[in-house]
Amino acid sequence: MSYRSLTSDIIGSAIKIHRKLGPGLLESAYEPCLSYELSNLGYRIERQKPVPLVYEAVKLDCGFRADIVVDQRVAVELKCKDVLHPVDEGQLLSHLRLLNLPIGILINFHVVLLKDGIKRLVNNYTEPVSEHVKSA
């Protein structure tokens, strides 16, 4: 399955939840709902996945956690705040780098239209080239 298809399923599930529950709840309410929807689509979900932090020879147990990791391929960071700040994107990019994942989705459920609260972020991502394109 392509990353595009996977991220579309994640975003579609988030929109479905937002339409039913609306804005104004805590992240802790949306996280199990999104995990449930994605599990029903057949994805393997890891909630509150520990994010290892290693600096040179030192492994730090800082308690960093990614809200949701889908199929060990995409990190999803959930927010419920009036405005996303650059540090929110930085947090997700750090998780991507430390977990060695190529794509992350930042979802802010505290908006009227969820499409206004979604950002896809990449960590050195390159789309795989199909065989017929390679030989061209």
DSSP state of 23: S
Distance CA 131, CA 124 (A): 21
What would the pLDDT profile of 8-18 be if each residue is shown by its tens digit? Answer: 999 999 999 99
Distance CA 38, CA 78 (A): 14
pTM, two decimals, is: 0.86
For domain 3-124, give the CATH number: 3.40.1350
Encoded tokens for 4? 């595009």
Domain spans, the chain: 3-124
What would the pLDDT profile of 44-84 be if each residue is shown by its tens digit? Answer: 999 999 998 888 888 887 778 999 999 999 999 999 999 99
CB count in 10 Å sphere of residue 108? 21
Report yes or no: 123 and 23 within 8 Å, Cβ to Cβ: no
